[in-house]
Every structure is written in structure tokens, then in C-alpha cells.
Amino acid sequence: MIDQYGWSELLRRQFAEFAEAHLIPGRVVLQQRGLWGLATDLGDVQARLSGRLARQASPGGFPAAGDWVAAAADQVGEVAVIHHVLPRRTAFTRKAAGPAGGEQIVAANVDVAFLTVSLGGDFNARRLERYLASAWQSGASPVVLLTKSDLCRDVDSAIVKAEAIASGAPVHAVSALAAEGLDDLLQYLEPGRTAVLVGASGEGKSTLVNALLGSERMATQAIRKNDGRGRHTTSHRELILLPGGGILLDTPGMRELGLWDSDEGLAATFDDIDQLATRCRFSNCGHSNEPGCAVREAIDRGDLDAARWRGFQKLQRELAHLQSREDPGLRAARRRHWVQISKANRRRDNAIDGD
């Protein structure tokens, strides 16, 4: 059964030590507060955390939708116990809401991040840049979905506008209600591959899931007449098997996506600005009133949108503020942790390729 959810030879090797301890592998297909639904070879089971994992895990170390875990379970019907979370191949993260902040894993081990932007209202370029930065940082491949294209009078212009922001990520216009553009998404949803749907509230994610499933599985609500938006109805994160064998992770709509440790993702999203900055006369140019500033010159010529530059500065300040509040030792430790995971994954990939 777990083969349908992306179980692989690489994961089997990673799991060997846990199998010796008589634990079974499972993938988190449903994430709700205090309870996790797992897909296992025994079938679908509910699970809780072991006492040790609950005590010792960092906020980002708790199981998230898409995670592979090692659990103790003997039969369907009993509550399994999650003892370990396997190393994540990719992780889409955000700053948790509220004053305490902290890292929150939105989706783990996904191959594609579908970033939804509704064409039923005003196109929000700054929000898309924020989502792109998180997606590039996650390790997944971002794909921009312009949803509710049936409500837009000039879809081609919207695609051009999105492509100018997307930094090379594919852009597709889709309408779930009119069944337009859905076939374009199948290339990203091959058997065993996982895609996550991420976007703000009311951008048609649940309707899109229903269209890809060919059934009314996800509850939806009517579109408001004043702004063409619906109210989101997804209240939890859930992995869904699609008829063609692909896997789709639906997430609740987000009022905001706070960046978390997204330096590389920000650089990838604003690669055009990074390239301009290399042409400045001074290597430490602040891009304000310095002579020979290539960034300011590009803005004056109209080659760089001033609003895009302000959006970049805002996200930079947000990250800098977050990093200034964080304990440097913890930040360095987390970076070392992810570097070790990345190196281990590359070694395992190379070993499999060499077989």
C-alpha cells in the first residue's frame, strides 16, 4: 500500500535500522492537532506521538503531512505510536502565526509546490513573490497556478505578468469549474510524485482538488459576488491519492505566509535584482544614493519595477528581523542539521545510482 504514496528503495534503506526494532513505515496523510493519520502496509491507522518524541522534538521536528515515520502498530484499529520522523527530502516551512513565531512545517517530502493565485480578484504580485521565496527554499519545484481563469477577461496578460515574477517557474492558468487547463497539471502528477497546493484563503484549492479527483470529496463554499473569492473550507492538511497515481497535499488557506530561513529562496525569487547588484560600482552598495548603483539606474530606466524593488526590501527586512530575534547557536545548529541531511541524501542517491 505505501508504494502508492512514494515509498522507494532509498526510503527502504533509510528505514533498515527501524525495521530491526520491529517498527513499521508509514506516511503522514492526515495532520490534525494531536493526531496523525498514517498510510501503512497494514492499512490506514491513527497515530499519536511516543512520549520521548513529544518531549524531545523541536517545533520543526514533529511529524507533518507528507512525512515518513517509524511507528509501532500491530493491527488496523489500534492507535499506532510514532517513534521517529525520517529525514525530510524537502520541507515547505513558514513562520508560525502569533507573537511566539517559530518554525512550522507546512508540507514535507513534496516534489512540486503548486502556488495558487486567483484571477477572480486583483492580482497580488507581492504575495506571489513571498510564496515563490518559500517554495524555492523548500527544495520542491514551484509551479504557479492562476486559478479561476474563467473569471478573468485577459488571461494572457495575467500569465505574462506572473511569468515576469516567477523566475523561471512554470505558469499555468486553470479553471476547475470550466475544466480548463487541468490536463497541463498531469505532467507534475506522475505516479509516486507528491505535489502540495499552497495559497491564500478562497483561491479555489478545494475546487481544484475535486476537479483532479473527478469527485466532490473536498467541501467548498460559494464565491462572494463582491470580489469573486470563496471562503476556504479545508481545515487540515491531507494527502490525497489521485486517479493517475499522483499524490496531492491540500492545505488550509493562509492569511499570511511568514518567511522562515529563506535566504536562498529569496535570492532565487529575485535573481534579476541579485544580478543587477553585481554591476554596482561598490561591492557594499546600499542601493540608495551611491554613485554607480546599477539597481537604482535600472529603476530610473524602467527596467526594474519600483514596486518589485520595494517588495524585495520588505522581505529582506522581515528575514533580518526574524534572524535578529533568533538565538545564533540554535540557528547555526539547524543549518548544520539540514546540511547533514542534504549530504546524506546525496550519498544515498549516488549509492542507488551506482547499483
Residue 131: is its pLDDT beyond 70?
yes
Q: List, in sequence order, every residue forming a beta bridge with 39; answer none if it has no partner.
A: 27, 44
CA 155, CA 228: separation in Å to the nearest integer?
15
| CA pseudo-torsion sign 202, 255, 241, 167 | positive
Largest CA distance in the chain: 71
Residue 302 has a pLDDT of 94
pLDDT digits (tens, 9 = 90+) for 135-162: 998 999 999 999 999 999 999 999 999 9
Residue 352 has a pLDDT of 44
pLDDT digits (tens, 9 = 90+) for 271-288: 999 999 999 999 889 898
> Greater confidence, 262 or 210?
210
What average pLDDT does the segment 329-335 reach? 57
Residue with cell 546525496: 346
Number of residues that this document lists for the chain? 355
Q: Strand locations in the chain, DSSP E?
A: 24-32, 35-40, 43-49, 68-72, 80-85, 91-95, 103-108, 112-118, 141-147, 171-173, 194-199, 237-241, 247-250
Please, which pLDDT band fits residue 231 given cuts at 50, 70 and 90? very low
Q: Cα torsion at 232, 238, 239, 240 (round to 10°)?
A: -60
Residue 58 has a pLDDT of 82
Nearest by Cα to 227 from 109, 129, 119: 119
Q: Which domains does the chain have, with CATH numbers?
A: 2-87 (2.40.50.140), 92-250 (3.40.50.300), 263-330 (1.10.40.50)
Residue 241 has a pLDDT of 94
Residue 262: is its pLDDT beyond 50?
yes
Percent of the chain with pLDDT over 70: 80
Residue 349 has a pLDDT of 47
What average pLDDT does the segment 174-202 reach? 92
Residue 24 has a pLDDT of 96
Please, which pLDDT band fits residue 328 given cuts at 50, 70 and 90? low
| Contact (Cβ atoms closer than 8 angstroms) between residue 69 and residue 23 | no
Residue 337: is its pLDDT beyond 70?
no
Residue 84 has a pLDDT of 96
Please, which pLDDT band fits residue 230 given cuts at 50, 70 and 90? very low
> Greater confidence, 36 or 253?
36
Please, which pLDDT band fits residue 334 given cuts at 50, 70 and 90? low
CA 107, CA 137: separation in Å to the nearest integer?
13
Instruction: Give the list of residues 6+ apart from residue 113 with CB closer than 8 angstroms, or none.
Output: 92, 107, 135, 138, 140, 141, 142, 143, 195, 196, 198
Give the least confident one: 149-158, 216-225, 307-316. Answer: 216-225
CA 296, CA 302: separation in Å to the nearest integer?
10
| Average pLDDT of every residue of the chain | 84
| Contact (Cβ atoms closer than 8 angstroms) between residue 243 and residue 190 | no
pLDDT digits (tens, 9 = 90+) for 15-41: 999 999 999 999 999 988 788 999 999
What pTM did the predictor assign?
Answer: 0.80
